[in-house]
Chain A
């Protein structure tokens, strides 16, 4: 035992080694732990940084894999690429990383983005060097949402790059400068881990965003390279940035002195995990909250103070004299209204609106600080009285509004199915904490009907960037991040056809029990409105040049069947319930499901089936 203690104190033996030695020497586990506790105060601390790094020698691919493992990465989203050979070789002896494959680069990024949004951790992806252009649409979506995504590609060999040669261009990074927060091309094998760490760090430091690293294939294959691998905690930066104290006091006073404040919430609230804190701030003074565009629901949708969306037809409050922007994209306050903008993103604050007070910091922290500052301005009883009066008014409005909305949706019936009836039927049957991944037009379609809250459903999507072709891949990432929750992928038929149907392949291959619901109205509806709803010639002529999708009449269940996914077509609202029930049963058995609902087309040009028809076959002169 003395030798064990000596080795431990002199750091020739780890704590685990000490326990093992004690057990091997015949001591009980309890005695071993007791001895370790007694000796621990005398164990010298390791030199700063020593335990946070380790040296390793291997191929560039192995260095990459080791550094990825240290970040805590569990999944690595990939598409097929010859340049991934060195990583594949490295994974043979590194089962910690599970590869999840997509059929192309755009969906790799979508899956990584969905995973990052749902897990709050980095989504990692890797694809071919020439796949970068294909990936850039969803890279743009990630950038607009400030999502923490780290993307890797191979790159031309170091002895051939820069010649505009085969599969190469002179500047790969220039095209994605606007879509990435940081980007790099590695040129030394031993620094591959360093660039991976930098990408991780930059992508997670708020405001986050996608980072992209290209690694020449020869550097990944190079052997006997020695590099330093950092543990994940060695490059994680706490981001609970505290706001300026004076600014908090000033903002608290503005809020307290306003007669009708209004809270505007955006995605940074959820990114900062600040939803509960913002609710407490709202409740402190009975401040109504409106939701700005966001890929989350940033305020509980069934809370009596949640009065709707910005820009919708709210009747409450009729007027406000103080707009408190919490993490929304720059808003606009009416003239004469105080405007407080709290954000984690300095460049966003006050971008297009005169500021009464700007608050930079973590939004949860800002909300907590504001609560304390407001409490110091007035007696508790007075605060409660103000809050109760406002809450009563808001509750009267929101209760009646919600009952009306759901009542009207239930009254909507028939064939084709009114979309709102589909949503309420889904809400009726899905798990209370189901995750709704949506890419269907405007957020109101889901915000008005699902109960989103920390202890209820979770909304992810649609993206601020609005580049279609995101949701089906994103749903896969969401399901992997939250394996025990129902995930539903809401898609319009037009959006679903934007190069993402092939993510059903991923859903099927990995038994991701996702229900994909197609709002199939055979039209790009909102585009049609915006074109045919004008006083323009195409609208007047009843000509739908680019929005009609009814020819061919796509049966999405047949598309799903090609991927071995079961499904149902629903044409009448009476058939929704049984079809959804069947889908949920299949999901509970671990398989995805496709629900193709023929939904009612409304508005400008709704029944117009004219489109610029053309048949090449009819123009051919040689048919034999």
Chain B
């Protein structure tokens, strides 16, 4: 894993926190995760998705995973490291996991983008999002934070097919339950 790779996504390696989570699940869940959000919704479809869901989330949420961009060799290093630390990864699962992760979250994958914080420039890094569409989304935020993926799609003005390509990379913070503010 390179520092450059970590910095590219503007998130200093939440994977590290994921590794910590292997040994201190609850602690890191408290540190990293939004209430009720394990970030599995941000996994694009693919053959290894079920493995990631089952094996990675047995120790930690997936925020670090979905925000990281790395090449296959870097993902393999991480997967092997996690397995050594106690993640329930079987040897047969390593290659499918690495293939999925390096495809879904490789260097060329769209950056993980917070729909409520992104700038126009951030948003136009997502495939199919024009400066005009980004402007509409930013304008929509002026009425309050966007709370659902559907609100984001509507604001961007994308059809379902176009939105499907980017929806896994758009983060919408869940609404916290009343009394938990």
Contact = CB atoms under 8 A, between A and B. Distances in A.
21 contacts: A311-B25, A312-B87, A313-B22, A313-B55, A404-B83, A404-B89, A407-B91, A409-B80, A418-B77, A444-B22, A444-B23, A445-B85, A448-B84, A448-B85, A533-B14, A533-B20, A539-B12, A542-B3, A603-B13, A603-B19, A606-B2
B102 interface: no
Interface string A292-325: 0000000000000000110111110000000000
A532 B15 CA distance: 10
Contacts of A538: 12
A540 B16 contact: no
Interface residues of B, number: 45
A602 B81 contact: yes
Contact of B16 (A400, A445, A604): A604
B81 A529 contact: no
Contacts of A608: 3, 12
Contacts of A411: 80, 91, 94
Interface in A487-542: 526, 528-530, 532-535, 538-542
A554 B147 CA distance: 51
Given A312-B22, A540-B10, A420 B84 contact: yes
B59 A606 contact: no
Contacts of A476: none
Contact of A602 (B1, B58, B59): B1
A420 B80 contact: yes
A604 B6 contact: yes
Interface string B45-61: 00000000011001100
A539 B90 contact: no
Contacts of A6: none
Interface residues of A, number: 47
Interface of A: 308-309, 311-315, 400-401, 403-405, 407-409, 411-412, 418-420, 423, 442, 444-445, 448-449, 526, 528-530, 532-535, 538-542, 600, 602-608
Interface of B: 1-4, 6-7, 10-20, 22-26, 31-32, 54-55, 58-59, 64, 77-81, 83-92, 94
Nearest to B1: A606
B20 A529 contact: yes
Given A311-B25, A540-B11, A608-B3, A529 B17 contact: yes
A-B pairs, top 7 by smallest CB distance, nearest first, are A604-B16, A603-B16, A539-B12, A607-B3, A533-B17, A604-B13, A420-B84
Given A401-B88, A444-B84, 11 more contacts: A313-B22, A313-B59, A401-B90, A412-B80, A418-B84, A420-B80, A442-B23, A530-B31, A539-B11, A607-B1, A607-B3
Contact of B86 (A309, A418, A533): A309
B20 A530 contact: yes
B57 to A, nearest CB: 9
Contacts of A528: 16
